[in-house]
């Protein structure tokens, strides 16, 4: 039962932040990347189902997925109460893990049940030592310091937006998920208009950002839309209802293979990005 | 039967481009503005229902709306075929009008039925003389030189986008409608990525841009999202499927009262825009 995977204490902090709807039965590209970062076949994966009220069903899906990928040790933890979040067997399972994956559901459940618990403390301590943390949908939203709790997808109104404290594994960003699928530009714009010091990350379904230190790479079938309101030259955010006004928002759409530097707030342009393919039909 | 409203030959070309779903029975702010520009109570309004396959139903709604506003002369023209688009009584009704309003439906019907017809010719001639042209949804999309015909709302993929020739009352823009409601950022980004010389206008429902010359003002309950890909520093548009990559897109969100200069591609910052209201709750 001793660890065969050494977690490098000096390693960059690593997160796999998924926009929801990741493939869990096909090529499972995103889950495979998570496992690879967590030690491959030797990974010890813990799945935390706190966000969902149907932990058994969802837990079984992830158990099967990670076993198919070849993870020998998978533990499914429902953690549905603060008592459970402080239970010694739960805490020691998280302590042993090389990768912890958060399912979808309601992000407020994650904060309210885990926030400040023994599990939360151990998660942060182990994260600093190299534990890989993954999360999808609600499990993605809670990664940041300030998280989106709710708000109409399509009405760009400050009065509709609710935010709160996430678990804070990454700072300087606000994460929205199911981004293209639910048309959430307005909502992410409203949040970045309120908090322009945070870069907005709109992550499509079956798409993830793989954070290593201050840098992230996009993987998966969709794209990540980066909304940077840091250079907004004019802003009008009504206190309650009514649409916002913002001029000079910078936007980047980054599909698989593209990277972004969170410290400079700039995309990392690689060779792939220099290609401008001909969009016209070729004969 | 002679005109009591003189159309000024030197007037700026005027368009009311509506994102669909404009109020037609309440305060009718957008329709009222259209009527006001077309001469108020003395306006002679023609409603062209070519885009819809249910012209009687939709025509009756607009007839009642314009009569409620106080327009004394309203003509509903179904124009469902090229024969009708060349019929002398149709052409003379358009010739007499001070305002022509296009209903929603399918924008390709407008192009295929009206394009190059006598009605089209007269519309352009009268438009140059000051005729006000309004259009909602499909009737908005067809206003530009290049129009969006279709394409998945949420998949930012060039292969899914279909464009074609609009009737060309305004150049330099591509118009998308039901913008926030249907989450169409991806689609508008894909189009502006392909044609960065065109500014993308994403118009929300019950929202309109009122174009006068090279300038437009936003009215209505939603916002207009301006997507400017002219300074994109890196672009990758796959020929067929797969998401696009774009870095450095400039975005402006303009609600009611905000203006935009189409020649400089910049928002016009007024006093209203300088207010940054406090978003925090006040005690």
- φ and ψ at A54, to 5 degrees? -125, 65
- What is the mean predicted confidence (pLDDT) over B227-248? 77
Q: Is residue B241 part of a domain?
A: yes
Q: Measured between CB atoms, does A245 come within 8 Å of chain B?
A: yes
pTM of the prediction?
Answer: 0.82
Compute, in degrees rounded to 10, the torsion defined by CA atoms B206, B229, A183, A189. -80
pLDDT at B13 over 80: yes
Res. A232 pLDDT band, cuts 50 70 90:
confident
The CA distance from A246 to A235, in Å, is: 5
Cross-chain Cβ contact B245/A225 below 8 Å: no
Q: Is residue A197 part of a domain?
A: yes
Residues 167-186 of A with CB under 8 A from B: 180-186
- For β-strands A199-203 and A146-150, DSSP reports them as unpaired
- Where helices occur in chain A by DSSP H, the ranges are 29-37, 55-69, 82-85, 88-96, 107-114, 118-128, 138-141, 185-194, 271-274
Contact between A206 and A223 (Cβ < 8 Å): no
Q: Is residue A122 part of a domain?
A: yes
Q: Which residues of B touch A252 (CB under 8 A)?
A: 246-249
Q: Is residue A274 part of a domain?
A: no
Token digits of residue B90: 């149709």
Tens-digit pLDDT profile for residues A121-146: 999 999 999 999 999 999 999 999 88
Cross-chain Cβ contact B251/A249 below 8 Å: yes
Contact between A123 and A131 (Cβ < 8 Å): yes
pLDDT at A42 over 80: yes
Q: Is residue A270 part of a domain?
A: no
Residues 132-171 of B with CB under 8 A from A: 153-156, 158
Q: Is residue A278 part of a domain?
A: no
Collapsing DSSP to helix, strand or coil, A191 comes out as helix
Q: Is residue B97 part of a domain?
A: yes
The C-alpha of A130 sits at a distance from chain B's nearest C-alpha, in angstroms, of 31
Q: Is residue B49 part of a domain?
A: yes
The CA distance from A242 to A238, in Å, is: 6
pLDDT at B271 over 60: no
Q: Measured between CB atoms, does B203 come within 8 Å of chain A?
A: no
Structural domains counted in chain A: 1
Who among A223, A249, A277 is closest to B252 (CB)?
Answer: A249
Percent of chain A with pLDDT over 90: 69
pLDDT at A3 over 50: no
Q: Please give the residue range of the domain that contains residue A232.
A: 14-257
A83 contacts: CB under 8 Å, gap ≥ 6? none
Residues 42-101 of A with CB under 8 A from B: none
**CA nearest to B182 within chain A:** A183
What's residue A158's pLDDT? Answer: 66
Cross-chain Cβ contact A273/B237 below 8 Å: no
What's residue B5's pLDDT? Answer: 52
What's residue A277's pLDDT? Answer: 42
Report the CATH number at residue B180. 3.40.50.880
Contact between A225 and A181 (Cβ < 8 Å): no
The ipTM assigned to this model is: 0.75
The CA distance from B57 to A38, in Å, is: 61
The C-alpha of B50 sits at a distance from chain A's nearest C-alpha, in angstroms, of 29
């Amino acid at each position: 039962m001793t660890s065969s995977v050494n977690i490098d204490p000096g390693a960059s902090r690593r997160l796999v932040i998924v926009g929801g709807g990741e493939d869990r039965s096909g090529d499972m590209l995103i889950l495979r990347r998570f496992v690879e970062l967590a030690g491959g076949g030797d990974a010890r994966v813990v799945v935390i189902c706190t966000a969902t009220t149907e932990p058994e069903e969802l837990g079984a899906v992830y158990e099967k997925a990670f076993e198919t990928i070849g993870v020998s040790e998978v533990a499914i933890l429902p953690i549905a109460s603060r008592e459970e979040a402080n239970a010694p067997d739960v805490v020691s399972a998280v302590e042993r893990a090389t990768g912890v994956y958060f399912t979808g559901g309601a992000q407020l459940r994650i904060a309210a049940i885990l926030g400040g618990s023994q599990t939360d403390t151990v998660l942060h301590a182990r994260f600093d030592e190299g534990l890989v943390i993954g999360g999808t949908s609600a499990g993605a939203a809670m990664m940041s310091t300030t998280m989106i709790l709710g708000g109409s997808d399509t009405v760009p109104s400050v009065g509709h937006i609710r935010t709160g404290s996430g678990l804070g594994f990454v700072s300087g960003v606000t994460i929205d998920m199911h981004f293209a699928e639910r048309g959430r530009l307005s909502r992410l714009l409203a949040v970045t208009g309120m908090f322009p010091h945070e870069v907005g990350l709109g992550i499509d379904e079956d798409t993830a950002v793989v954070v290593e230190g201050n840098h992230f790479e996009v993987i998966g079938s969709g794209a990540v839309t980066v909304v940077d309101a840091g250079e907004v030259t004019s802003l009008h955010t009504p206190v309650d209802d009514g649409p916002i006004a913002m001029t000079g928002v910078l936007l980047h759409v980054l599909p698989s293979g593209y990277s972004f530097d969170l410290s400079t707030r700039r995309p990392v342009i690689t060779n792939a990005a220099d290609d401008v393919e001909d969009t016209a039909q070729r004969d």
